[in-house]
Structure 1
Amino acid sequence: MVFEGSSAAISHTGKVRSNNQDSGYCGANLFIVADGMGGHAGGDVASSIAIHRLKDLENGYIDTADAERDLRDAIAETAGQLIETVAERPELAGMGTTVSALMMVEDHAVIAHIGDSRIYLFRDGALTQITTDHTFVQRLVDSGRITPEEARYHPRRSVLMRVLGDMDPDPEVDTFIMPTQPGDRWLLCSDGLCGVVDDAHTSKTLDQGFAPGRTADLLLKQALDAGAPDNVTIVIVDVGGQHPLVSGTPTIVGSASNPQGIEIPAARSGRTGGGWFHPGRVAANEPTHYEPSSEFLEELIEEDWRRARRRRVWWIVGLVVILAAFAVALFGAYSWTQTRYFIGADEDTVVIYRGIQQDIGPLSLSSVHDDTGILLADLPAYQRNEVEQTISARSLADAVAIVDNLRPVTEVP
């Protein structure tokens, strides 16, 4: 069964990079995004090798298990090809690429993924991230040490824990099978998009109902408007959508679209082999992705613990400052209330109270200052009513004057 739907692919260098190390593939049944890394002469070669190896799976499958197995095997073979390439040209040491691949088989999507490019599913107005980033910060999120929002701005957000590179001949690739249905819209992208455009804006754009090509253009514009510090590659796939597939010719974008894209650059004099931190390679753009050694990973984890401790300390200090300010404000307010006075009744006598006629829960803001000894029964009815309703005074002297006026004329003070 041939996949029925429409799709589009686009790739852009971005506003900071001088070359495009991303590659993308958009066929009839197979769709791929590969984000290369390794400097000017490495990332583009790695992503191109991945695309040109995997595109051979475009024949169409009728069994999802076969498709999943072949995807996994092809990615492993790509790793071997990268290792062989570096053996022939040591100046390319340290190159690698992410791979996020989607293959349509009947009414299912077969997915293979390694790295931090992403596959999203937009269904019934909701956007869901299908793949999991193989990054250091994602591990921190999974362990509950940071939030997804904190991960977006973490200084180590580009550190990859898994990548298709020249050091591991048997890479650990996530593969799984999902049912898909007419109306689904799939998005494959490099982190040049999802790293700068949040899911809310992506979802809103996908929901506008434009054809895949127009939608990809709108998403790319958002990435460019946000600064596009990295290459941006986008592949959009509509399942049984209203936009018919115009052509069966595959679309290849990014470095893999260059006929010279997978040619190995000639060796330069003075270069020696190395690793991810190759000292002799002078790149137009330093790699932003690398797979850390176990020692470096331990250092990153310790650094993150220190950062977390600092955050907790500052959080506690901030809380203490806020509580202290609140306590000072409460004390100031209470002190002010104790400069106020009023006249009221206490059982059967007239009393001068200090404070105000309000309570805060169990806390009373007034207390007896002086029981005058004047009996309520000795007061005329109107004065007794005023006292029972309380009489405010501007000061203690004013309160004393009001009490003197209440005393019966026959009483000797």
Structure 2
Amino acid sequence: MPIALHYAARTDLGLGSKSRNEDSGYAGPDLLILADGMGGHAAGDVASSTVVGELVGLDGENLGADDALHQLGKAVRRANERLRDEMDASDDLEGMGTTLIAMLRTGTKLALANIGDSRAYILRGGTFSQITKDHSFVQALLDEGRISAEEAEHHPQRSLVTRVLTGRDDDIPDLSMREARIGDRYLLCSDGLSDYVAGSTIEGILREGGRPEETADRLVAIALRASTRDNVTVVVADVVDQATPVHNQPQVVGAASARHTAGDRAVDPASAQTPAEKAAALTREANTRANGQQPPTGGGPLLAEESPRSRRSGWLRWAGLGGVVVLALGVAAFVGYRWSQQQFYVGQDRGMVTIYQGVPQDLGPFSLHSVDSKTDIAVTDLPSFYRGKVSDTLSASTKNEAIGIVEDLRTEMVKCQTGAADGSTCTP
């Protein structure tokens, strides 16, 4: 029976310190994409949006089942080469990378490409399962039996990935074909959701049913309630009978929607050729209209004139309330400061990998972190990906966990140095 996809894509900056969204998502009639950019001070948003921009041309291509997986793999390789080209053209982009999940529909089948630790799930009938495998340090520990699944969910190094798209020749994704069935519900998500929300909770929200738009909104909302410190992006898609009325327009979210360009020119809805260009142009127009809305004139409702007595009593009420607020803020600040000083993270100081006590933030003129101990590992001796992770900082709940992160970085440094002769391990 012919099928179609009913889909929705949503994203949010999250509650952490990131000032820009480095995730990108795309949902179209035949193509779903999620990319989580990374790279420290390098442009993770450039990486994710570049990859999405290279892949969207597959949407609407009407590829045969025998050709879809091959073409998807070729498109991922082209996207990876584009990353290398952009880094070669700008030193500021060196070290950037991105995870990727892409699903390309052909008939009743889905071609799937996956690299990194972003995830794809399926809810089919009564069974909920993850259909991608994380390419991460924690997954390797899990595969080796060194930690349990429960320990993996809260492991302090769960953000360390072992394979992503970085422009290198050996950045090879997992490729597979799946049979799609009417009634299937798919979820693609960045680790801003999966690292902060339990799998059972994600499953429960997917089981609630409702339109993909409603489900996507609920997933982002639950990630924010869980205080996600990362960008959170989701793509939800239901497999429906092709005869079912579906009025979806292609959707672009995150960094890709902020870079509404085709080459170096802005995309105009009338001249847009690909579904992604059209979606980006429509998104830009909608945002422009929303930002251009003016509040009602008049500055709000008028108040009845107050007598001197009522003004005086009102002032006293506000003064009392202000005192309570100041006291509450002072208590909250004290509790927050004490909590922050029980945390640790790994960053850099004067080019050396360094363990800090506290959190990598400042509160006005007050610093919430201090150097606990310096290491003998130069940041420049690390592979480019891990240099980016150190620049972004790696959090730890105890000092011992921070020491463990440092030892893992030391191992990567040694691999980098011993493999530098053939260039297979270390990217300068």
Give the RMSD, CA atoms, in angstroms.
3.0
> Within 2, Cα distance between the matches of 1:198 and 1:61?
37
Q: Which residue of 1 aligns with 2:19?
A: 18
Q: Which of 376, 385, 388 pairs up with 1:276? A: 385
Aligned residue pairs, count: 285
**Retained in 1: the 8 A contact 2:122–2:130?**
yes
Tell me the residue number matched to 2:401: none
Q: Which residue of 1 aligns with 2:259?
A: 259
**Cα distance change on mapping 1:263 and 1:197 into 2, 3 Å:** farther
* 2:122 is equivalent to residue 121 of structure 1: yes
Q: Relative to 1, partners in 2 of residues 1:42 and 1:243: Cα closer, same or farther, differing over 3 Å?
A: farther
Q: Which residue of 2 aligns with 1:8?
A: 8
Who is 2:80 aligned against? 79
Q: CA deviation at 1:180?
A: 1.4
Hey, what does 1:348 align to over in structure 2?
Answer: none
Where do 5+ consecutive residues of structure 1 fail to align?
265-272, 300-413
Q: Find the aligned partners of 2:261 and 2:223 in 1 and give their Cα distance.
A: 24
Q: What's 1:369 paired with?
A: none
Counterpart CA distance in 1 for 2:257 and 2:387 is: 27
Q: Is the 8 A contact 1:8 1:237 kept in 2?
A: yes
- Per the TM alignment, residue 257 of structure 1 is displaced from its structure 2 partner at its CA by 0.3
User: How far is the alpha carbon of 1:108 from its aligned partner?
Assistant: 1.2
Instruction: Provide closer, same or farther for how the CA distance between residues 52 and 252 of structure 1 changes in structure 2, counting only shifts above 3 A.
Output: same
Question: Residues 121 and 186 of structure 1 are in contact (CA less than 8 Å); yes or no, is this contact kept in structure 2?
Answer: yes
CA distance in 2, matches of 1:14, 1:96: 20
Q: Which residue pairs with 1:100 in the alignment?
A: 101
Give the corresponding residue for 1:197.
197
Offset from partner CA, 1:96-124 (integer Å, 9 cap, x none): 00000111111111100000001101011
* Structure 1 residue 295: Cα displacement: 3.8
Higher relative CO (Cα under 8 Å, sequence separation at least 6) belongs to 1
* In 1: Cα distance, 2:394 partner to 2:84 partner: 18
1:296 pairs with 2:297: no
Displacement of 1:209 in angstroms is 1.2
Residue 172 of structure 1 pairs with residue 281 of structure 2 = no
Following the alignment from structure 1 to structure 2, what is the Cα–Cα distance between the partners of residues 125 and 60?
33
Q: CA deviation at 1:296?
A: 1.4
Structure-2 residue corresponding to 1:38: 39
Cα distance in structure 1, aligned partners of 2:240 and 2:24:
25
Distance 1:72 1:294 in 2: 33
C-alpha displacement of 1:170 = 3.7
Structure 1 residues 298 and 5: alpha-carbon distance in aligned structure 2, compared to 1, 3 A threshold: same
Kept after mapping to 1: 8 A contact 2:3/2:182: no
CA drift at 1:10 = 0.4
Question: What is the letter of the counterpart of residue 122 of structure 1?
Answer: L
Alignment partners' CA distance in 2, 1:235 and 1:36: 16
What CA deviation, in whole Å up to 9, does each residue of 1:236-291 have, x standing for no partner? 110016974213x3110000001368999xxxxxxxx9933559x997x5589x9x
Distance in 1 of aligned mates of 2:220 and 2:43:
24
Secondary structure of the residue aligned to 2:147 is: coil
Answer whether contact 2:8 2:212 (CA < 8 A) is retained: yes
Q: Structure 1 residue runs of 4+, over 4 Å off?
A: 260-264, 285-288
Q: CA 1:183/1:25 → structure 2, altered by over 3 Å: closer, same or farther?
A: same
Amino acid at match of 2:230: D
- The one-letter code of the counterpart of 1:175 is L
CA distance in structure 2 between the partners assigned to 1:222 and 1:206 by the alignment: 12
Q: Percent identity?
A: 39
> 1:41, 1:262 → 2: CA distance?
22
1:227 maps to what in 2? Answer: 227
C-alpha displacement of 1:19: 1.1
Code of the aligned partner of 2:412: F
3-state SS of the aligned residue for 1:240?
A: strand
Residues 293 and 71 of structure 1: CA distance in aligned 2, closer, same or farther (over 3 Å): farther
Map of 2:240 onto structure 1: 240
- Counterpart of 2:212 in structure 1 is 212
2:57 counterpart residue number: 56
* 1:295-344 superposed Cα distances (whole Å, 9 cap, x missing partner): 41879xxxxxxxxxxxxxxxxxxxxxxxxxxxxxxxxxxxxxxxxxxxxx
Residue 64 (structure 1) shift? 2.2
Residues 28-66 of structure 1, C-alpha deviations (whole Å, 9 max, x = no match): 010000000013551000000000000011124342231
2:39 maps to a residue whose letter is G
SS at match of 2:384: coil
The amino acid across from 1:149 in the alignment is E
Q: Mean Cα displacement is larger for which, 69-78 or 27-36? A: 69-78
Query: 2-side partners of 1:287 and 1:3: how far apart?
Result: 44
Which amino acid counterpart does residue 275 of structure 1 have in structure 2? S
Cα–Cα, structure 1 residues 147 and 216, in superposed 2: closer, same or farther, change >3 Å? same
